[in-house]
Structure 1
Amino acid sequence: MNKIPAIDRYIARLIFFPMIGTLILSAMLLVLEKMLRLFDFVATEGGPVSVVWRMLANLIPEYLSLGIPIGLMLGILLAFRRLATSSELDVLKGVGMSFGRLMRMPYAYAIALAALNLAIVGFIQPYARYAYEGLQFELRSGALGASIKVGEFTKLGDRMTMRIEESHDEGRSLRGIFVRGENKDGQAVSATAAGGQFLATDDPDTIILRLTRGVLIHESPKFPVPRVLTFDNHDLPIPLPQIESFRLRGGADRELTIPELFVVGKDENEPLQTRLESRANFHFRIVEVATMLLIPLIAIALAIPPKRSTSSLGVFLSIVMLVTQHKINQYAEDMGARGAVDPLLALWVPFLLFAALAIWMYYTVAHVPGGQPIGALERVAAKAAQKIRAALSFFQRKQPVS
């Protein structure tokens, strides 16, 4: 059994830690940004807080699919930047190790993560997205108890109104309850209670509201005056509002797996717009995964600064290139879905141009003596930094001494 060479283990460690750190950080930032909006949405709809965590859990696959390419890019780039700035890269090249040899571990990571990303965007994310949309539907429809909002009068069916002052333990404990119900005979029952809770029954269309420490008023045309009853406990049956079933998975192309997208895109029985959207989303997902195989080439090309320089322009530019490519793919998908351009051409032509750029950048660094694919940008950035430092020094000298 062949052991992994020491140099490969060393490069693998250099890549691993910044890659994992970047992936976790980017996922956390995306989750935090979405969490605030979800808390606001759930609070507006009156749902329990636990729904926020369930919705965020269903968004994690989508965030991982975005964070994995960035983590891979920065992991490889920072690892080779460290090798370059510490002169270890020159030593490795001096003992006969070419860039092609050093690319083994970057491509091992790239292939493994591309396969993982394919599984996420192709099979896991569609089901997670459908579950997320289902939770949103249940919140809006009231299937999670969201139809009863704290501090508001809520209609339950055609003949019952309810209001609660406080809700604790995710709706299991209620405080300050007012309920009024009427029937077709003109009879009405009003009740106020200090507390209460909902209890399930054998009838799926009815629940029991158990009231504690309250007063019940029964009105009827047969009674000369309303009847008043004080109680410690009283069970009040409440008919559940009718809730329509959530649609089947596949109502949006993001909820279809890659094989399902392929089938729908080829099905002549489907409307033309549906086929275009499915084809565009199919090619979008494949291109996003294929782009990961170009990341090692770009990362290494941007990781190596000019001699006697510690410029970090390559780090900034790598993120700009990756985000720009992603946005171009999104725009191309939209164009393909609208039928303005064939989805195959809309997605794959930009990818091939990006691939040509990545290969040229790598070839320049690896095979052109002294090659620097962003040398011109490095020189411009160096001159700009020099001018900024000179301007700052000038203003500092002009400031009066107190």
Structure 2
Amino acid sequence: MNSIDRYMARLIAVPLISTLLISAMLLVLDRMLRLFEFVATEGGPVSVVWRMLANLLPEYLGLGIPIGLMLGCLLAFRRLGTSSELDVLRGVGMSYTRMLKVPFMYAIALAALNFSIVGFIQPWARYNYEQLRFELRSGALGASIKVGEFTTFGTKMTLRIESSKNEGRDLSGIFVQMVTKDGSPLAVTAEHGQFMRSDDPDTIIFRLTNGTLVHTDKSSPVPRVLTFTTHNLPIPLPKYEQFRKRGDRSLEQTLPELARIGSDRGAQEKLRDTSRAAWHFRIAEVASMFLLPLLAVALGVPAKRSTSALGVFLSIVLIVTYHKINEYAQAVGALGRIDPVIALWTPWALFAALTFWLYYQTAYVPGAQPLAAVEKWFDKLVKAVTRYLPGRRKKAAA
């Protein structure tokens, strides 16, 4: 790798990493508010929010990595064009194809990373996310114990906690009413308490300090009252419904699993179509990344004496639009209306044809500047819209 390749690598790396970080932060912040509200409503610990966000990151990176690659390459060529460095490189005989060496190295590496994410990591992360949602709603994470409220576990236990600190590790104002194994009632109040694990996975130890215990034995008409400094109260955990197995949804299946189900003639037709559509959707999304360096050249090289950033806007619109079209094609293919191969690869072929045409016009047709033509059309559109604005019309009438 010569000095020009190293220079290109640095130009691409900064906007690429910045775009990945910014897009991931924006998507995480958007979902974080809803997750905090959901976890607070269910009464779960705050730490669950970070675990849920961590399991959502692979899904965000599936779209963030192509956008980061596109903007990284595009902004690199845009900087070369606006600083006249591109004219110097072209003047010494370096073609656009030669300058695409480093962008394609990035594309290959990021496509391999994206393939591993959407093919293997994202299905497991999605399943873990759904499992956390299930455990929050069922109370398996301790979310059913809400501070300041009476919480019932089955028909034999009622618990109330006045306040909680350190994410549930320091509890105070404890009241417990339960029925022991022999059927006698037991009531306990304590100043402080702490949940601890036991050797029995179906039982948890509630260590209470500075409290009073009232036990009514069937053999004695007088309740027994005890005061204690420390008392370990074994509490049987409620039986929760087990979460479903992974793979009930196509989002939770890896690429080999989707391929196996899609080629299984003994499987249901709807399940086969859904699996095939999901498989082709992921492969088409990864394959489109090899087109982005070519598109970056066409939209990144600015027109002469132009500083417009219209190419950056168009690149994002094209990627997001292509992604949404693929999602719609996947849904249609999963319904069996169109073969998934046709539904998913036809948009890819059209996107590839547009990309190759734009790149050919930029790199091999003398004087052709697709971005300059787009800027002219955009200027005409802006003038046509502003002509009919209320303020513009009043000014023209005056």
**8 Å Cα contact 2:62/2:117 also seen in 1:** yes
Once residues 322 and 88 of structure 2 are traced to their aligned partners in structure 1, the CA distance between those partners, rounded to angstroms, is 34
Equivalent position to 2:115, from 95, 113, 118: 118
- Structure 1 residue aligned with 2:378: 381
Letter in 1 for 2:260: V
- Structure 2 residue aligned with 1:357: 354
Equivalent position to 2:285, from 253, 268, 288: 288
Equivalent position to 1:338, from 326, 335, 339: 335
- Structure 1 residue aligned with 2:317: 320
Once residues 149 and 334 of structure 2 are traced to their aligned partners in structure 1, the CA distance between those partners, rounded to angstroms, is 43
Distance 1:391 1:283, change over 3 A: closer
Which range moves more in the overlay, 133-142 or 14-23?
133-142
Equivalent position to 2:130, from 121, 127, 133: 133
Question: What are structure 1's unaligned runs of at least 5 residues?
Answer: none
Which range moves more in the overlay, 174-183 or 23-32?
174-183
TM-fit CA distance, 1:374: 3.8
Equivalent position to 1:194, from 191, 194, 201: 191
- Residue by residue over 1:170-200, the C-alpha shift from the partner in whole angstroms, topping out at 9 and shown as x without a partner, is 2222111111113697632222221111222
Distance 1:193 1:105, change over 3 A: same
Letter in 1 for 2:346: V
TM-fit CA distance, 1:366: 1.0
- Structure 1 residue aligned with 2:366: 369
Normalised by the length of structure 2, the TM-score is 0.91
TM-fit CA distance, 1:136: 2.1
TM-fit CA distance, 1:323: 0.3
* Matched residue SS, 1:47: coil
Once residues 256 and 218 of structure 2 are traced to their aligned partners in structure 1, the CA distance between those partners, rounded to angstroms, is 66
- Residue by residue over 1:201-233, the C-alpha shift from the partner in whole angstroms, topping out at 9 and shown as x without a partner, is 222222222222223333466655544433333
* 2:48 is aligned with 1:55: no
- Residue by residue over 1:366-386, the C-alpha shift from the partner in whole angstroms, topping out at 9 and shown as x without a partner, is 112221224343013335667
- Residue by residue over 1:99-119, the C-alpha shift from the partner in whole angstroms, topping out at 9 and shown as x without a partner, is 111111111111111111111
Distance 1:297 1:188, change over 3 A: same
- Structure 1 residue aligned with 2:265: 268
Letter in 1 for 2:6: R
Once residues 228 and 115 of structure 1 are traced to their aligned partners in structure 2, the CA distance between those partners, rounded to angstroms, is 68
Once residues 31 and 340 of structure 1 are traced to their aligned partners in structure 2, the CA distance between those partners, rounded to angstroms, is 35
- Structure 1 residue aligned with 2:105: 108
Once residues 106 and 287 of structure 2 are traced to their aligned partners in structure 1, the CA distance between those partners, rounded to angstroms, is 14
Equivalent position to 2:142, from 142, 145, 162: 145
Q: Please, what is the CA RMSD of the aligned residues?
A: 2.4
* 2:147 is aligned with 1:154: no
Once residues 178 and 360 of structure 1 are traced to their aligned partners in structure 2, the CA distance between those partners, rounded to angstroms, is 74
- Residue by residue over 1:299-327, the C-alpha shift from the partner in whole angstroms, topping out at 9 and shown as x without a partner, is 11011222111111111000000000000
Once residues 183 and 369 of structure 1 are traced to their aligned partners in structure 2, the CA distance between those partners, rounded to angstroms, is 89
Once residues 151 and 93 of structure 1 are traced to their aligned partners in structure 2, the CA distance between those partners, rounded to angstroms, is 72
**8 Å Cα contact 1:157/1:240 also seen in 2:** no
Letter in 2 for 1:50: S
Distance 1:321 1:207, change over 3 A: same
The count of corresponding residues between Structure 1 and Structure 2 is 392
* 2:41 is aligned with 1:44: yes
* Matched residue SS, 1:20: helix
Letter in 2 for 1:294: L
Once residues 2 and 180 of structure 2 are traced to their aligned partners in structure 1, the CA distance between those partners, rounded to angstroms, is 82
**8 Å Cα contact 2:303/2:371 also seen in 1:** no
Once residues 272 and 388 of structure 1 are traced to their aligned partners in structure 2, the CA distance between those partners, rounded to angstroms, is 50
- Structure 2 residue aligned with 1:75: 72
Q: Percentage identity across aligned positions?
A: 64
* Matched residue SS, 1:179: strand
- Residue by residue over 1:224-252, the C-alpha shift from the partner in whole angstroms, topping out at 9 and shown as x without a partner, is 55444333333322111002332222122
Distance 1:386 1:268, change over 3 A: closer
- Structure 2 residue aligned with 1:329: 326
Letter in 2 for 1:289: V
Which range moves more in the overlay, 156-165 or 137-146?
137-146
Once residues 126 and 341 of structure 1 are traced to their aligned partners in structure 2, the CA distance between those partners, rounded to angstroms, is 25
- Structure 1 residue aligned with 2:96: 99
**8 Å Cα contact 2:180/2:186 also seen in 1:** no
Which range moves more in the overlay, 304-313 or 315-324?
304-313
Once residues 389 and 355 of structure 1 are traced to their aligned partners in structure 2, the CA distance between those partners, rounded to angstroms, is 34
Once residues 245 and 168 of structure 1 are traced to their aligned partners in structure 2, the CA distance between those partners, rounded to angstroms, is 30
* 2:40 is aligned with 1:15: no
Question: What are structure 2's unaligned runs of at least 5 residues?
Answer: none
